[in-house]
Amino acid sequence: MIGAHSLDDIDFLDAARFSAMGDVPVVIGDAQSWQPPVPGLQAVCIGVDAAGALPALNPAHFDVLVTTAVDAPAPWVSIAPAQLETHLHDLAAAVRDRPVAATILCRVLKTAQALPFEAALDMESLAYSALLGGEEFARWRRATPAQPVPQSDGPLVLVDREADHITLTLNNPAGQNAMTAAMRDALHEALAAVLDDPTMPCVTLRGAGRCFSTGGALGEFGSATDLAQAHVVRTLRSCAALLARLGDRASVQLHGACVGSGLEVPAAAAHRSATREAWFQLPELRMGLIPGAGGTVSVARAIGRHRTTWLLLTGKRISARQSLGWGLIHKIMP
């Protein structure tokens, strides 16, 4: 039962209640027995396997699947039995706190999985621009003072070539390699130069200092005044799109914090390695947003949309070990 409604009793007239505009933006049900009552239900659907039995089911019916089974395979997320009730409460609370962003996230992820990589990036960017104009993001912006990003001397992206291999290094360690617009543009220019090079060199992307990147500079969020134009710029300067175009020639070496766009961009590379202390996080939903640097495509194609949704609803950090098991990275470096 959800409130006074059984999920099996939802009809088309009632379905609007189960959306961001209604009073039930999230539904939680038994993963084995539940079937979607109406096509296109917009509520976030969370399936639960409390027994840890990993039942056969249709993953398309759900946005998140949680189980008490240990080290469960995709698309499941394993939760300790003693923590299950609290975890489900927290997932539901995250949706209720940001229902528009959460439900748009799930619809973008479902649709994008059937699209080519760059078409899916376009869809993500359109949704991102829409959310930048929404009240959920405005609420976060009002509560979050803008802070300038410390700048290092020298170029924001270092380019080093040895024979047929190019190393690109994000070079603002004082600012934790925050992905400012200037950093994004410098990286995009460097990747475009690699793609244009007729010798077809391989490329490795890394970060200087204590971490790969803490993601977008918070002070720049919401600074665009023309959200339609911002969408155009975002797609024209997509570093994730260029990394994906490089195919097997692109590698990333990750360490320390890999947050937001500091995860979304490198996740598009064909070869991904990380040090043991690296950790990964997608915090955008707490801001009333979804990923805007390619994460609904790059991360979702690495670990699946169910686990990507879970990462965003929880905002949790995951370790290099867990990321290796999930396929987010391919190797842990010494």
Look over the chain and give the mean of its residue pLDDT values, rounded to a whole number: 93
How much is the pLDDT for 5?
42
- pLDDT tens digits for range 260-308: 999 999 999 999 999 999 999 999 999 999 999 999 999 999 999 999 9
Query: Taking residues 155-180, what's their average pLDDT?
Result: 96
Given this model, what pLDDT does residue 290 score? 98
pTM: 0.93
Domains of the chain, by residue range, sit at 7-97, 116-301+317-333
Rounded to whole angstroms, how far apart are CA atoms 222 and 129? 10
pLDDT at 6: 46
- The pLDDT-based confidence of 217 (bands split at 50, 70, 90) is confident
Looking at domain 116-301+317-333, its CATH class is: alpha beta
> Which two tokens mark 89?
């409460």
What's the rounded mean pLDDT across residues 189-203? 97
| 39 — pLDDT class (breaks 50, 70, 90) | low
Contacting residues for 302 by C-beta, under 8 A, at least 6 apart: 267, 272, 326, 327, 328
